[in-house]
Amino acid sequence: MEEKTIGLMGAMSEEVARLYARMTDRSEESLGGVTFYSGVLAGRRVILCCAGIGKVNAACAAQLLILKFGAKALIFSGIAGNMTSKIGVGDVVIGETLLYHDAERRMIADTFPNLQEFHGDPAMIAAAEAACAAEGVRYLVGRIATGDNFVGDSATKNAIAAKCAPDCVEMEGAAVAHVAAKYETPCVVLRAMSDDADENAYETLVVKDFDITEYCDTAARICEELIRRL
Ligand code: ADE
């Protein structure tokens, strides 16, 4: 077994539970209200957590994964609001570029790593593409915009589209990629489209047009396939 620890961040406890169930040699430790599960998955040592929603929760967990738990690569898997007609609900965006849509990007880029946009690691993106293909999931490699608000109206959606033209919008990805860049750690962010980031978004998510159970099954399978390919 290659002893490079992989940090796995799931957005939903159901998804994390599925991955945890498939791990062997398990132990856990809680810090800052987040439980970090360590074990072996697909022959690789992994540390898994459900970080919580939003940029700060994501950044804290990503930093702990790297500095405290020794993760040498980060995978984030979750859901997002679709911003493109190229794919639909249930399909996946693999983050090639990740950026904040609600922040002063130029001011943030004043300090290391001096970036206004962050990038998924090419080898991890390729592995994620292969994992999606193996699981029969439609995907695109694209642009993910991150902010601390749930986007659930057309005016906000259109403003974000005009500002940064993302393929989807979510609440953690750029923060994870930002921390990963600070510590020169490769990362990849996977997002399954759960809604269209419009007036129906909240309803779609909460009333469960979007099947969380199915999503969590698929996401866990993609993650395991991805780890197998790293
Ligand atoms: N995650 C899933 N759907 C979302 C949306 N519409 N806005 C922000 N984050 C999301």
Q: What CA–CA distance (Å, rounded) separates 208 from 10? A: 19
The reply to whether ligand 1 has any atom less than 6 angstroms from the CB of 80 is: yes
Angle (CA) 184 172 5, round 5°: 45
**Residue 147 in domain:** yes
The total domain count for the chain is 1
The reply to whether ligand 1 has any atom less than 6 angstroms from the CB of 210 is: no
**Residue 206 in domain:** yes
Q: Which are the catalytic amino acids? A: 15, 195
Q: What is the pLDDT of residue 3?
A: 79
The reply to whether ligand 1 has any atom less than 6 angstroms from the CB of 193 is: no
Closest ligand 1 atom, residue 195 Cα: 3
Angle (CA) 207 54 110, round 5°: 150
Q: What is the pLDDT of residue 203?
A: 81
Summarize pLDDT for 53-105 with one digit per residue, the tens: 999 999 999 999 999 999 999 999 999 999 999 999 989 999 999 999 999 99
Rounded alpha-carbon distances, angstroms, from residue 187 to 35, 83, 119, 160: 20, 22, 8, 24
Is the confidence at residue 1, as pLDDT, over 60?
no
Q: What is the pLDDT of residue 77?
A: 95
**Residue 207 in domain:** yes
Q: What CA–CA distance (Å, rounded) separates 75 from 88? A: 22
Q: What is the pLDDT of residue 212?
A: 78
For the chain, how many residues are written?
230
The reply to whether ligand 1 has any atom less than 6 angstroms from the CB of 195 is: yes
* E strand spans, the chain: 6-10, 24-31, 34-41, 44-50, 73-82, 92-100, 118-119, 139-146, 168-170, 187-195
Closest ligand 1 atom, residue 170 Cα: 9
**Residue 84 in domain:** yes
Residue reference for tokens 């969590």: 216
Looking at residue 195, which CATH number applies to its domain?
A: 3.40.50.1580
**Residue 1 in domain:** no
This prediction's pTM = 0.96
Is the confidence at residue 2, as pLDDT, over 70?
no
For the chain, how many helices (H) and strands (E)? 8, 10
Q: Residue 101 sits in which domain range?
A: 6-229
Q: Report the run of H or E that residue 15 belongs to, with start and end.
A: helix 13-21
Measured from the Cβ of residue 186, the count of other Cβ atoms closer than 10 Å reads 19
% of the chain at pLDDT higher than 90: 85
**Residue 104 in domain:** yes
Kindly state the tokens that stand for 66: 């790297």
Summarize pLDDT for 150-186 with one digit per residue, the tens: 999 999 999 999 999 999 999 999 999 999 999 999 9
Which of 19, 16, 60 has its CA nearest to residue 40?
19
Summarize pLDDT for 125-157 with one digit per residue, the tens: 999 999 999 999 999 999 999 999 999 999 999
